[in-house]
A and B are shown apart, each in its own frame.
Chain A
């Protein structure tokens, strides 16, 4: 299993909240964010309850937690698909509330579960869609698509002209990742990108993801249900529980220095697959 040495150089930044607030190198920052969803005729759903989270430039943080604990909501706050009820979301030093959502999102790759490829477009067009919308010349787009497909190990020659329905689940996920990287965004959000895949395919994709992470200084938020995946891929892991973050720390922190009982239980309970 590959260890990521990089988190260590940032880990010192995340020790105390006061420090974090002063830190100017945070790429993504949630500041006391609360998100309530109004439910007509019923009490509001509190999806996030006064959550703080900092992600340093170049860092990968995995969000893990039970279903409904608020991981997806946290992710979608970053690209403004969800607006906070209270608190503030800062990306690259700027409050997202003041950014143009389209411009913001073009700098943030977004990988949705199952890839969510556009069925009416070929694989190549899916991957190159944003390039085309940015007005790139066709040749440049094509070169970029080939490069990206190569990087997710889908030779453009075989795959560029296929339609999503002609792909396997794992291939579709790869295309989804490639599409998110089209404009070489400094930030990538991944929402259970490898969910619902068989363990072998999943392992392959995880390895590829590690390779992807090597190049560039990308900041990533990665939602997963799988603790082993979180430990393997995250510089740090944020453990969510009913709208709160119980602990943010390196895999070692969570394993060896759990913040409380709940964390310890969660890690012990899900540690079955975590081996080295």
Chain B
């Protein structure tokens, strides 16, 4: 009897363990997502764990946060990123092994998170040169560029131009390097290369697009670029509970080198294949899973049937994102109105504050929205995600509402204000019974402007992992999938028009009848 009971318990236990899930997250760019998909499929095929792949989770900080909070169990990280962004190490190292061991050690010690063996690829910066130019000038190494600046047209991504581990560091590391690079968006560089308009540019060393163009990748002969080795990182707790994971993941070690990564990225980005298909094909070709391995779930793939098709296919998801989008806008507007309208009243009553408040709001308005977001996520108590998005929206919406409140209140006919005061109305009554109702139309016009701006700015929320209609836009940009970009952009535009229309109606309803045309 008691033995039976023990067996029953064991069965329950085994089932419980068997049903336990393993959640793989992935960063929102092609390679991150692809590697995540490979991990997910492989673990699914070779263990009893119930594997879920949360693709497109967001940027580094988002994945990191999700991992630490146990929202996901694993994602693929790069040693260089861990070194500088997560561990915030000041020094530099160009030695891949040292970097890996250091990062592994620190993660284990500080966070109880394990670095599994790396995939093999090193997705670092690389300097690429058009083959014709490279052959003519005999360029094979970065140091060959020294003294050749005048003959070469260099275009670097704005990020590379700015980053310490980019151009400024490179120039210091290779004295005599005299390129005069101009900033250019990465997406445009390839077109420029194809048109013979650019000779030298920076790229990620595993970028699939490099395969499409006739370029030579220069050897970093003096070892400047930090290593960016990709490897799965897994929560220690999960590894202890499921030791089989360690075996499974170690079998993926050194299966993907730079060239392979390039080819896989290329299949998704240029070939338009599905992530799931590319991952499965890779695992099979390598003999990592048998042909009868469990069929992974298909992820939504790129489609050439146009944005409307994408829109229709993803309508459920887009609807949810649109609601989320609208929620951000509504919440931000409510907060802003509660903030800016009283501030406007304050400005009217205390003219000394005018310059500071209106000036401040105008200055905020001029900050590029991405810069503002970047600034906000750096503020410790804001961080990534929804709060930062809401705060950014509020900051942008303040100016139109504040300005219109002040203008509205101040442009009330002075004769009416005089009459109101002369009748014996208190300043408060003059404000709320006369100035405010007479200004309401102007104030609401400000709210309306703010709302339309907010719908636009809210698309940027996706850049910091807060979702909204910017999600398909950001993903589409990463995947170079115009249809997907439009499947976010079109609903966002429609939403802006709808919000404008609804607020127009609201303005009409709220305008006192005596003031209507």
Chain A interface residues (CB < 8 Å from chain B) = 76, 79, 81, 101-108, 110, 112-114, 116, 118-122, 129-130, 133, 163-165, 179-180, 189
Which of A79, A120, A130 interacts with B512 by CB under 8 Å?
A120
In the complex formed, the residue of B with least CB distance to A106 is: B424
**Nearest Cβ on chain B to A99's Cβ, whole angstroms:** 11
Check B415 against A119 for contact (C-beta < 8 Å).
Answer: no
User: Are A81 and B418 within 8 A (Cβ)?
Assistant: yes
Q: Are B423 and A129 in touch, CB under 8 angstroms?
A: yes
Contact at A112–B515, with CB atoms within 8 Å?
no
Q: Of the 9-residue stretches B64-72, B78-86, B386-394, B430-438, which lies at the interface with chain A?
A: B430-438
Partner pick for A112 among B419, B425, B438, B512, CB 8 A cutoff? B419
CB distance from B453 to the nearest CB of A (A): 28
Query: Is the CB–CB distance between B418 and A164 below 8 Å?
Result: no
User: CA separation between A36 and B237, bound complex, in Å?
Assistant: 84
CA of A97 to CA of B421 in the docked complex: distance in angstroms? 16
Shortest Cβ distance from B517 into A: residue: A165
Contact: A118 with B424, CB < 8 Å?
A: no
Residues of A within 8 A of B424 (CB): 101-108, 130
Residue among B415, B416, B421 making CB contact with A81, cutoff 8 Å: B421
Instruction: Identify B425's interface contact among A102, A103, A163, A180, CB under 8 A.
Output: A102
Q: Could you write out 30 A-B pairs with CB less than 8 Å apart? A: A76-B422, A81-B421, A102-B425, A103-B424, A105-B422, A106-B423, A106-B424, A110-B422, A112-B418, A112-B419, A112-B422, A113-B415, A116-B415, A116-B418, A116-B419, A118-B416, A119-B512, A119-B515, A120-B437, A120-B438, A120-B512, A120-B515, A121-B512, A121-B514, A122-B514, A129-B433, A130-B423, A130-B424, A163-B514, A180-B423
**Cα distance, A224 to B205, chains bound together (Å):** 89
Chain B residues packing against A (C-beta within 8 Å): 415-416, 418-426, 429, 433-434, 437-438, 512-515
Q: Least Cβ distance of A236 to chain B in Å?
A: 23
Docked pose: A163 CA to B438 CA in angstroms: 14
Q: In chain B, what residue has the closest Cβ to A130?
A: B423
Task: State whether B423 touches A110 (Cβ < 8 A).
Answer: yes
Q: A118-B416, A120-B512, A120-B515 are in contact. Are A79 and B438 (CB under 8 A)?
A: no
Which residues of A sit under 8 angstroms from B419, Cβ to Cβ?
A: 110, 112, 116, 118
Closest to A189 in B: B422
Closest to A132 in B: B433
Give the distance in Å from the alpha carbon of A155 to the alpha carbon of B231 in the complex: 87
Across-interface contacts of A133 in B (CB, < 8 A): 425, 429, 433
For residue B149, give the distance in angstroms from its CB to the closest CB of chain A: 60
**What residues of chain A lie closer than 8 Å to B513, measured between beta carbons?**
120, 163
4 interchain residue pairs of minimum CB distance: A105-B424, A163-B514, A120-B512, A106-B424
Give the docked Cα–Cα distance between A101 and B515 (Å): 30
Chain A residues within 8 Å of B434, by CB: 118
A116–B420 Cα distance when bound, in Å, is: 9
Kindly list chain B residues whose C-beta atoms are within 8 Å of the C-beta of A103.
424
Pair A164/B423 contact, Cβ less than 8 Å: no
On chain B, the residues within 8 Å of A102 by CB distance are: 424-426
A103 to B420, CA, bound (A): 14
**Within 8 Å CB of A76, what residues of B?**
422
Asked if A120 and B514 sit within 8 Å, CB to CB, the answer is: yes
User: With A and B bound together, what is the CA distance between A115 and B230 in angstroms?
Assistant: 79
Contacts of A129 in B (CB 8 A): 423, 433
* Bound CA–CA A119/B415 (angstroms): 12
A105 CB contact (under 8 Å) in B416, B423, B433, B515: B423
The interface residues of chain B lying within 8 Å CB-to-CB of A101 are 424
